[in-house]
Amino acid sequence: RDSNIWLGTNSRGLLRLNAHGVFALGGSDAGMPDTIDAIFEDREGNVWAGGGSGLIRLRDSPFIAYSLPEGVPSSGGVPVFADSANRTWFAPVSGGLMWFRDEQRGRVSNEGIDRDLVYSIAGRNDDLWIGRQRGGLTHIHFQGASLRSTTYTQAEGLAQNSVYSVYEARDGTVWAGTLSGGVSHVAGRRVDTYGAADGLISNTVNSIVESPDGAMWFATPAGLSLFSQGRWQSFTTSEGLPSDDANCLLVDSGGVLWVGTAGGLAFRAPSGLKLPPGAPGSLREPILGIAEDGLGYFWVATTNHVLRVNRSKLQQGTLVDEDIREYGVADGLRGVEGVKRNRSVIEDSSGRIWVSLNRAIAMVDPARLINNTAPPIPNIEAISADGKVVSVRDGAHISGHTQRLTFDYAGLGLSSPERVRFRYMLEGFDHNWSERVDARQATYTNLSPASYRFRVAAANPDGIWSLRDATFAFEVDPLFWQTWWFRLSLLAACIMVIGALHHLRVTRLARQLNIRLEERVEERVRIARDLHDTLLQGFHGLMLRLQVVNDLLPQGRAKQQLEQTLERADQAMAEGRSAVYDLRSSATAPSDLALAVKGLADELATPGSAVFRLVVEGAARDLHSMIRDEFYRVTREALRNAFRHARARHIETEIIYGQRVFRVRIRDDGDGMPSEILEKGRPGHYGLRGMRERAEQIGAKLEIWSGPAAGAEIQLSIAGSIAYRTSRRRPLLGLFRKKAAGR
């Protein structure tokens, strides 16, 4: 794919032919077989070469590492800087200052730098500013092929000779942060020093940067300091920093300030300092260096990771897997541990990123990075149920006794197999995909009987997911007590038992109620007979005697008083006979309520009285005797009032046998009743009160509508489950409870 021609030889190993000529790759000393019998380029761009003595894989690495094997006298852990002439500067841990460009190398020995340890390198164009461990701040200027240098120390007003961080501002002045003496501002030969006493939050300055508005920011172990228009302002965790220990600073292409701290990354928003929402855990580690490339990505070095992150999505909190990339040894790095040095991650004038790590200085060109668009191929390798192997074939049946079902899977990715990531989902159990994991096994326990499908997808290090999922469909067979027929049989048995118990209870309650009803009827008949045979007969005889006395008395006041007494006695006798009639009516009244009401109307009607009409709706049903009696008495009282007092022309009674409600309505077009009589009744009369008491006694609802000259309508209703003997609901249960409470 890169237009190279690869040649396998019998004695010279592998050769590569392109526009630059022929290049021999290694040999037996480099692990390359001398005899190459086969060459193959896979779908990911790797070149495989094999011979009788072994197999090798060749792949392009995005990073180029510089350390001792490349002639750089340092194994890493040093500050790094790239100038406008594409020279890369670094300071070996043994001391001094060096640079390299292509195959050229150089060393600086001016001002005794070769005998001192360099902490920081900064500059612009042909100017370099060097922060030294003991020698203060040295300015190096290129003049043709020669170097000129000037050094600032405490003798020139520098805060301290140990300069840890250096920054050249846009106005050409230089800020030098020291290890413990504060920060110095160098403008020409003038040096101004600021420390904790002046408003700087700490005298140790780790990093310095200038914001677009000309304000200077200082990262210290105690927080963040801002110097603007001669005033100082400090920021700590109380203002939004994840940690007070700030290591590095960056102002991105959008003018936003980013702060790398010991507790992760933060940025300055209009509302203040804040953590990027949804940032991954790797960005919550100590941040040791950060730079931005020309494509809008951050390059971040932490204590354990080298990362490339989409800047805008990180700031917005919308990162997805494809927006963050982690690099490791497989990508050409010789280590992934960052170093705490001022400017340990930088961008050079060509847009390349340089990262100083613990084992080497690494360089990567973001413009040449091409995502590996060949995703891994997922495969389900093995399935086990409680340790027993299950055939990996769709439609497999798993015993319902299985407690632990394990899926082993893999993803075919030849470039970086150790960095293939997976996600999986068990359809029928999981609602969403799992988190991205590197484990190659998924386990489910105690699955219910059902049909399932296990799916697994794989992603390469660039976050490109496989086009197709590996799937396995299977069924968990139910145990016999989990089958539908067993559950249906159990449900039917429960319903039958409940129905039998309900029927038994209803029968028992009905029997008890009937016994009580019979006892009540017998008691009422006995009371009526005793009243008729004793009290009423004796009272009647007494009335006859008083009548004889009245006939013997001459006209006068005494005779007049006795006649009034006899009239009242007649009235009392009539009421007594009415009470006896009421007590015996349940035994004498017809069982058909409609027939009883018709007979009652015929009895109450007189020549010239109202026209009576009876309407029956629905099929007549057998009523419980007590319900029938009480409805009859209420109806009788209502009809009696209508015939005798309402002066009505038409009287109508409706008997409605509803499925759920049994009701009786009596309406007339007579004079009606005032509202106060509806509420309290007529003085000395108890008809309305008695009707309400009877309705309440049996659990019925009595409603009366009337008004002056508006006629009257009375409705008595009760639930069918109480009224009917043949109801499928609980007959008379509510009534029985009311009667029991009444007793």
| 425: pLDDT strictly greater than 80 | yes
For helices 484-530 and 625-644, what crossing angle results, to 10°? Answer: 50
Average pLDDT over residues 203-222: 95
DSSP code of residue 533: I
Residues 6+ apart with CB under 8 A from 311: 252, 253, 254, 292, 296, 297, 298
pLDDT score of 586 more than 60: no
| Phi, psi at 721, each rounded to 5° | -65, -20
Residue 729 is predicted with a pLDDT of 38
CA distances from 606 to 349, 601, 612, 641, 654 (A): 123, 10, 11, 14, 21
Q: What is the pLDDT of residue 557?
A: 79
Asked if pLDDT for residue 743 goes beyond 60, the answer is: no
pLDDT per residue over 638-666, tens digit each?
A: 888 888 888 889 999 999 999 889 999 99
How many other C-beta atoms are found inside a 10 Å radius of the C-beta of residue 186? 23
Is the distance from CB of 380 to CB of 326 less than 8 angstroms?
A: no
| pLDDT exceeds cutoff 60 at 621 | yes
Q: What is the pLDDT at residue 581?
A: 62
Residue the block writes with tokens 């009877």: 694
Phi, psi of 106 (to 5 degrees): -155, 160
Give the closest residue to 87 by CA, choosing from 69, 73, 113, 108: 108
Tens digit of pLDDT for each residue in 340-359?
A: 888 899 999 889 999 999 88
Q: What pLDDT, on a 0 to 100 scale, did the predictor assign at position 463?
A: 81
Report the pLDDT value the prediction gives residue 567, as an integer from 0 to 100.
76
How does the average pLDDT of the chain come out, rounded? 85
- How confident is the model over 244-300, as pLDDT tens digits? 999 999 999 999 999 999 999 999 998 889 999 988 889 999 999 999 999 999 999
Residue 396 in contact with residue 390, Cβ under 8 Å?
A: yes
**325: part of which helix (H) or strand (E)?**
strand 324-327
Q: pLDDT of 310-343, one tens digit each?
A: 999 999 999 887 888 888 887 888 888 998 888 8
pLDDT of residue 141: 86
Q: What's the mean pLDDT in 459-482?
A: 86
Beta strands per DSSP E along 440-514: 441-445, 450-459, 470-476
Q: How confident is the model at residue 561 (pLDDT cuts 50, 70, 90)?
A: confident
- Which of 537-546 are b and which e, b meaning 16 or more Cβ less than 10 Å from the residue's Cβ? eeeeeebeee
Q: Please report the DSSP string for 346-380 in residue order.
A: EE-TTS-EEEEBSS-EEEE-GGG--------EEEE
pTM to 2 decimals?
0.60
What pLDDT is stored for residue 742 in this prediction? Answer: 34
Q: What distances in angstroms separate CA 163 from CA 58, 76, 204, 516, 585, one per listed residue?
A: 45, 20, 10, 109, 119
pLDDT given at position 200: 95
